[in-house]
Amino acid sequence: MPKIQVYALGGTIAMTPTASGMVPSLGAAELVAAVPGLGELADISAETFATIASANLSFLQIKALCEKASLAQCDGIVVTQGTDTLEETSFLASLIYTGDAPLIFTGAMRTPEQLGADGPSNIYNAVLAACDAEGGVYVVMNGEVHDPWQVAKSHTSSLASFRSEDRGPVGHISEGALYLEVHEQQIPIGIGAAVTELPPVALLPAGAEFDIRILEQVVGLGYKGLVIEALGAGHLSEAWADAAETIAKTIPVIFTSRCASGPVFENTYGYKGAEIDLIERGLMPGGNIKSRKARLLLSVLLTDNALDWESRFLAIKASF
């Protein structure tokens, strides 16, 4: 049977009721024990890596997890964690995990106590995907397989919360079988073993009549990059465009779209604050990469060889 390593990090999937409400408490062994039939799928090893809400997961923890996973003597790895940051931790893992075994992230929208708890079926499906996928990093939720470059948590409670708005899921699990489309996964960038922190990249959403006070503080606060979640196809107010141009003279500024799907434009609108103007002012269009992914991607690109971040970003954008 395939050997599958499960690492538990906490989250709703591991939460139990207390007088003050649900808190993360279950470890990997308890989560695995609660999944009927798992033992027929694979030879499971379970390790509790953390027992926290996913909002508290750090870069260092994800880096350590990826290093551990790449050394694990197994055929696949499953990570269970909270869903609040699952779209970012799995994306970060897709940038830095260089192991050959598939790395599958999953979680739950309901606690084990709640009716219709989805944790056990998500773990079962994630183990099945870890057994059958060739390699790469995926998110398995609600019977679907998603690419970390695409997926986002779209609903606060729905079992179908995890959606890839632009291209849909890259696979699904039906009748105990994995159906995975053949698709190009992004090549991991990797990160030096000595790296202990990511250069901080700010993420600021634009909006109607937003003023520029926060924008003007970004460089002074020590951020090494900025992602602006722009309006529509990549548009800002004139005031934001002026402020962003000044910032782009000091640190990289990428603009993405706040729309749930669709790329930012690069050569359609020419008014002040539109994409053609922003590019002329030194901002980098983010293509189809969404803001929370762009923030982490820029941060990893700035970790080493920061000078050539632009050419590396352009190459990645072109292949995405």
Comparison of 87 and 132: residue with beta carbon closer to ligand DAS: 87
Q: Which is nearer to ligand DAS, 53 or 302 (CB)?
A: 53
What is the closest distance, in whole angstroms, from the C-beta atom of residue 275 to ligand DAS in the complex? 34
* Residue number with CB closer to ligand DAS (111 or 150): 111
Contact 104, 79 (CB under 8 A): yes
Tell me how many residues contact ligand DAS (CB under 6 A). Answer: 9
Pick out residues in 16-55 that bind ligand DAS (CB under 6 A): 53-54
Residues 29/69, Cβ–Cβ less than 8 Å: no
Q: How far is the CB of 19 from ligand DAS (least distance, A)?
A: 18
DSSP string, 175-199: TTEEEE---PPPPP----TT--SPP
Distance of CA 76 to the CA centre of its chain: 19
12 forms part of the interface with ligand DAS (CB under 6 A): yes
**Measured from the CB of residue 240, what is the shortest distance to ligand DAS in angstroms?**
31
Q: What is the number of alpha carbons within 13 Å of residue 194 lying toward its C-beta?
A: 1
Task: Looking at residues 61 to 100 of the shown chain, list those that interact with ligand DAS (rule: CB under 6 A).
Answer: 82-84
Cα 44 to Cα 8: distance, rounded to the nearest angstrom: 13
Per-residue CA distances from 86 to 27, 69, 249 (Å):
18, 17, 33
Q: How far is the CB of 165 from ligand DAS (least distance, A)?
A: 19
Q: How far apart are CA 314 and CA 320, in angstroms?
A: 10
Of the pair 107, 171, the CB lying nearest ligand DAS is at: 107
Under the criterion CB under 6 A, does residue 11 sit at the interface with ligand DAS? yes
List of residues contacting ligand DAS (CB under 6 A): 10-12, 53-54, 82-84, 107
